[in-house]
A = this chain, B = another copy of it.
Amino acid sequence: MSTSEPATVLVVFDLVGVFVFAISGALVAIRKGLDVFGVVVLAGATGLGGGVLRDVLIGASPPAALTDWRYLVAPVVAGLLAFRYHPALGRMERSVTVLDAFGLGLFCVTGALKALDYDLGLLAAALMGMVTGIGGGMLRDVLASRVPAVFRGELYGTPALAGAVVVVAGAQTDLPTLVVALVGGGLCTVWRLLAIWRHWQAPIPTGPASV
């Protein structure tokens, strides 16, 4: 979570989001045949990477994830549980993907709000919201030595950017932050869920590949 003294309920949501992202990182590591150390590190990189990347870029130092031990424990627990129970988790992957969409909606909102706190411009703040949502998964894929899933047709980054744009635009109005956050995060999560259910894909280049 981004702002100082956040409400307890928001911290709980945020920790759940980190946990769910961490599960997705651990499952990628397990499929790649990594050892238990790699599973836990990929869980942590996926759960915390987006927020850490945002904090490094906006100069919020040290990153929020390093100042609250609960953010470090959550992905370790997720990684160890996934290491032990991955066959069961694999059967629940659909549910993990749905929960992940809620995490994405949450992170694009909190990331954009934190960037606005640090006096970034509107466009940069929206970008930081998107980075908070997708940075962890990108770091996961780089560490697993594969092209990030978010570049391979999976509709993931655009909903995160859209949600962050709504939050940044709404923050310029008199609307309560809670309303703006719910609309922005809701847009992101609903769009992402529709993309999963309807198998929407981002367009890929057409024409000769000779280029």
Contacts and interface: CB of A to CB of B under 8 A. Distances in A.
Interface of A: 27, 29-39, 41-42, 52, 56-59, 61-63, 66-69, 72-73, 83, 86-87, 89-91, 93, 118, 120-124, 127-128, 138, 142-148, 150-153, 157-158, 201-205, 207-211
A83 B207 CA distance: 10
A36 B66 contact: no
A62 B134 CA distance: 20
Determine how many copies of this chain the complex contains.
3
B142 A205 contact: no
Q: In this complex, which of A144, A203, A211 has the most chain B Cβ atoms within 10 angstroms of its Cβ?
A: A211
Contact of A144 (B147, B150, B205): B147
Nearest to A202: B35
